[in-house]
Amino acid sequence: MTLTPHELETYLSALVRQNLKIATMIWGPPGVGKSSVVAQLARQHDLDFVDVRLSQLAPTDLRGLPVPEQDGQGGGVSRWYPPEFLPRHGAGILFLDEVNMAPPTMQGMAQQLILDRKVGSYVLPDGWFVWAAGNRKEDRASVFDMPAPLANRFLHLTVRPDFDSWRSYALARGLHEHVIAFLTFRPELLWRLDPQQPAWPSPRAWEMAAQLHRAGLDAAPAIGEAAGAEFAAFVRLFEQLPDLATVLSGQGAGLRLPEEPSVRYAAVVGLAARARDAEEAYQAFSWLAVSAGPEWLQLYVATLVSKFQALGQLGDLAGLLGRDPRLAELVQGALSLAEG
């Protein structure tokens, strides 16, 4: 089953709500957000989250160490003391990341934990889910074949890059609007593996690029020279933008939306990203409605709804629906697409 990050989150949430303790394996290319989705879901459901990188462990690191104990009759036994990172109580997600980067001996050791929920003398508490993640061979990752008996113990889900899912995440995280606007204009650059280069675009790399850009640094070390050059050229277009703060305050009557499509992307996404409340959102929509066609209004509303939905503030948009029939129709359409 191949899913977007948003669909993956929905599926995993259903497992949690139904309390289905079925071991689940998440496949996907590097940087697509597999571990981020799981960590975010743990926070949403108030679950503890333990991230174990099997590729960095030896078998004894998982099973623990044998410690001699006296049996009271002049003899003794060895008991296995489990590692401190394995959970002892409560409820949460035990996440075995990079599981297929671990050598076969390590995967074999994890097999008992995944199937029987125990390893050595350690028993996983009932409230914990066991999920895992790994890259595929076609991603040029240094992975081992997963043994068939281990693979058969998992549900298998594959996650793919998806711009709409990433946009919701980026808006909720407050990533720089220049990055969001650029990828709205060039969504095909959200993920583009370049095996010849150490840096290349991915959702994870773009988040690093946003941090660099906010600090006034070149984004190319995160996303590669080619994507970095395109992004830098796009950022220069922002010098042609009207004052977006003036538009959001409702004083933009004397300002006009530039005709250049790439500049329009920057303006439309910038307005949606900057709108702090429903009133500013409405002022921006009213300004755009004067000089922008339906496709630009649709882009603005889709970005706006994605942002407010990701922040859990959709109720703030309710007051807009009665102010303009066009806005109401576009908001309802964006919500229908999001729910679908």
- Return residue ranges of the chain for CATH 3.40.50.300: 2-159
Report the amino acid identity of residue 281: A
Name which of 103, 106, 131 is nearest 119 in CA terms.
Answer: 106
Beta-carbon count within 10 A of 71 CB = 8
SS3 238: helix
User: CB of 150 within 8 A of CB of 107?
Assistant: yes
Task: Report the C-alpha gap between 133 and 5 in whole angstroms.
Answer: 13
Task: Report the C-alpha gap between 91 and 21 in whole angstroms.
Answer: 11
Task: Report the C-alpha gap between 309 and 117 in whole angstroms.
Answer: 37
Which H or E element spans position 295? helix 294-310
Tell me what pLDDT residue 102 has: 84
The dotted CATH code for 2-159 is: 3.40.50.300
Beta-carbon count within 10 A of 301 CB = 26
DSSP state of 147: P
Tell me what pLDDT residue 100 has: 87
Print pLDDT tens along the chain (340 aa).
Answer: 899 999 999 999 999 999 999 999 999 988 898 999 999 999 999 999 999 988 888 777 787 777 777 766 666 777 777 888 899 999 999 999 888 888 888 888 888 888 889 887 889 999 999 999 988 877 666 678 888 888 898 999 999 999 999 999 999 889 999 999 999 999 999 999 888 889 999 999 999 999 999 999 999 999 999 999 999 999 998 888 899 999 999 999 989 898 889 999 999 999 999 998 888 988 998 899 888 888 998 999 889 888 888 887 777 777 666 777 777 788 777 766 655 5
